[in-house]
Amino acid sequence: MAINDVAHLNGTSTGHSGPAPEEDTMPPALLHRSLRQQPYKVNSAKGLYLTLSNGRVIMDACGGAAVASIGHGNEEVLQAIQQQMSTGVSYIHSLTYTCDAAEDLAHHLIDGPQGAGRFGLERAYFVNSGSEAMDAALKLARQYWFEQGQMNRTQLVARKQSYHGTTIGAMNVSSNLPRKVPFACYQLGNVSWVSPAYTYQYSKWQEGETEEHFAERLVEELDQHLQDLGPENVIAFLAEPLVGATSGCTPAPKGYFKGIRKVCDKYSILLILDEIMSGMGRTGTQFAFEQEDIVPDMVTIGKGLGGGYSPVAGVLVHKKVIDVLRKGTSSFNHGHTYQAHPVACAGTLAVQKILRRDGLIENCAKMGQFVYPLLIKTFGQAKYVGNIRGRGLFWGIEFVQDKATRTPFPPAVRFGVRLQEAAFNLGVAIYPGSATVDGTKGDHVILSPPYNVTEDELRQIVAIMKQAYDGLEKEVDEAGSDLPK
């Protein structure tokens, strides 16, 4: 696959419609994602709305990339950040120092009736991005076994059609092929993958396989895969409770994660759940794993954690992992210069307090119950809509060329990206994805607005999405046999 093909397939990196605003004629000094198109300049933002430099107002119906959990321009968060900076403690080195903002944020996430401590997750580790969080989790998982003298534990198992981050470590355990192809030389040999928990495209639905039987088959596959590797050689199994950008808000089949947890326990393998995109309330509960009735050994969090007000992510670590370190070196052999950054933690704590005080996670669940029937009513019979799935305010729509066979469009059709462009031209930002099914073919878009979105706003968003879809369906029908192959 050529690099140009990779850029073409990776619809999530295009996300741009039309030329840049006319006033942006000066050549950029900033290296943007595309060297051909400049992104739109945002002059101001408030709540659900972004105001561009050309005066256009855009409804941010995807929260950037499922990030903006409380919307934009919140004054309370601004005041919390200003208050932290007014102390003069805008940066300290975490090896030697700590601060109230970081400690209070950790307690907020761990303690209390809504905290992670009720699941045995007793420590929080804060970094700057989801990719850094996954790298930290991978290193901590290896150190867990290293401290117990099990040096042979070097293998990691993940799932195909998964995404865990863009740094080399996180990319190694990911299987978002368009994002990896140019960097195949960095792929380590100690990572292997099992089938995705993706019912719509990977179950044997033609043969009448039920969701529960599909889950059982996947669990058996993991069990056999671990036996083939030698479970005594495996560090951890990694998975997203709902797969995000790669396949579009894909939940696992019923019973899957309970079975996976049992297999991991059977072979004493760590279970790391990646909730960077699906966690921190996005699916209607504080943690996405709550809806699976299991507990991971580590969970990575980000995006909705700080709501976009500061670059922040983290790892929540179970007591069993901490106890091993405590009995051994009593340290985590890892660190970042800007780890647990005081200003980032202060802003993040303000976001989390607002979410809890205003019941926004509960509202996220409530709005999910409203928007799913709305999406089904609006798109369920649409010619090229194959599947609508998700939870809370995290919804994916998958597009197929043939609904009867679930056959995706050829990549060159760019259905998902073209829908995103059409919706953007009508004033609504949604998140597109390509290579949905197998790393080459497939299209989807993601709807992931802030948790405080209203029913009226959701009606408006879905109506505009349908208007954009109708126009695109007509274009595709008119192209007919002239569609790109």
d(CA 316, CA 286): 13
Which ranges of the chain have pLDDT less than 70?
1-25, 481, 485
Q: How many CB atoms lie within 10 A of CB 170?
A: 25
- Amino acid identity of residue 265, one-letter, is D
d(CA 336, CA 334): 7
Residue 22's pLDDT is 44
Residue 70's pLDDT is 98
d(CA 227, CA 139): 23
Residue 60's pLDDT is 98
Q: Is residue 24 exposed (0-12), middle (13-18) or buried (19+ Cβ within 10 Å)?
A: middle
Residue 187's pLDDT is 94
Residue 26's pLDDT is 78
Q: How many CB atoms lie within 10 A of CB 195?
A: 15
Query: Are domains 3-73+360-482 and 75-357 of this chain identical in fold?
Result: no
Q: Which tokens sit at 273?
A: 């759940």
| Domain 75-357 belongs in CATH node 3.40.640.10 | yes
**CATH number for region 3-73+360-482:** 3.90.1150.10
The domain limits of the chain are 3-73+360-482, 75-357
Q: Which tokens sit at 212?
A: 């529960």
Q: Which tokens sit at 148?
A: 């117990």
d(CA 22, CA 39): 12
